Amino acid sequence: MTPPGRRTFLEQYAVIRHAEGRGSADRCYYESLPWKDVTGRNSEQWKIRARSYRHFERTILRAAERESGRALRILDLGAGNCWMSYRLSLRGHFAVALDIFIDDLDGLGARRNFNGPPPPVAADFDALPFADQTFDLAIFNSSVHYSPDYRRTLAEARRCLRPSGTLVIIDSPVYRLAEHGEQMRAERQAYFERTYGFRSDALGSIEYLDTRTLAALSNTFGVEWTARRPWYGWRWALRPLRARIRRQRPPSRFLILSGRFPAR
């Protein structure tokens, strides 16, 4: 990522996030996440995040805790306001919150709202400032789709994981066909341009995953994906049917993807 591209992205991202009503002057807002958005501004999105996190906690995290028998070292990639790192620390784990967005309301600066805040690291996915084999879990927290190059991004995550470590992808849009993801990206960028006057494409982010890309990453790295499908309610489940009736592109799915890299 070039410095000018990064600077442009961060400036535009702040405009969008603040316009969407992210963050609050009330620390109760942060301590309530992801279970409740006390501002009411993004409640439906936080309901999705809460169900994803609960599913991850009940399946992947508990299994890792049983297997290790000790506190885990966890890298929260795309930590945002640090809510997930905070939740993980409450379970006794050592979680590092990493993001390039350091905003006081919606970025790493918001960590001050938590008691015993997690350590923050401002860094890119493709240049992680950690030694090899540091972490037990590397979690892309609604964030891997910001990567412009999945191979580079996953290679860095693999480097920082211990041999028995697990890579987790949560709350990133997944499509069966790349063409549907491309349609979503075009629609999203057109909306930003109409609303804010810019397309918010300075990073060159891919913005979605698709079946073929996941298979290619599996071939490249030898990682075998396990896909979990949290239940988000009937309204979410009926989205594909509504899209077909309206002759719209298929909506994305939110899968929880996990995998381990083979020994090198």
Render 203-254 in DSSP notation, one character per residue: T-----EEHHHHHHHHHHH-PPPEEE-----HHHHTHHHHHHHTT-PPPPEE
pLDDT mean across residues, the chain: 97
Q: pLDDT tens across 90-141, in order?
A: 999 999 999 999 999 999 999 999 998 899 999 999 999 999 999 999 999 9
CA neighbor of 143 nearest in space, from 176, 111, 116, 169: 169
pLDDT of residue 4: 82
Specify the DSSP class assigned to residue 126.
T
Specify the DSSP class assigned to residue 59.
I
pLDDT of residue 151: 98
Q: What tokens were used for 45?
A: 């999105």
Q: What is the pTM for the complete model shown? A: 0.96
Calpha distance 225→217 (Å, rounded):
10
- CB distance 170 to 56 below 8 Å: yes
- CB distance 73 to 135 below 8 Å: yes
Specify the DSSP class assigned to residue 21.
T
Alpha helix locations (H) across the chain?
Answer: 3-19, 27-32, 43-56, 62-68, 83-90, 150-160, 178-196, 211-221, 234-237, 239-245
Q: Which residue type is seen at 167?
A: L
Q: pLDDT tens across 217-249, in order?
A: 999 999 999 999 999 999 999 999 999 999 999
Of 1-5, 64-68, 167-171, the range with the lowest mean pLDDT is 1-5
Q: What is the mean pLDDT of residues 172-196?
A: 98
**1: pLDDT strictly greater than 80:** no
**6: pLDDT strictly greater than 70:** yes
**2: pLDDT strictly greater than 80:** no
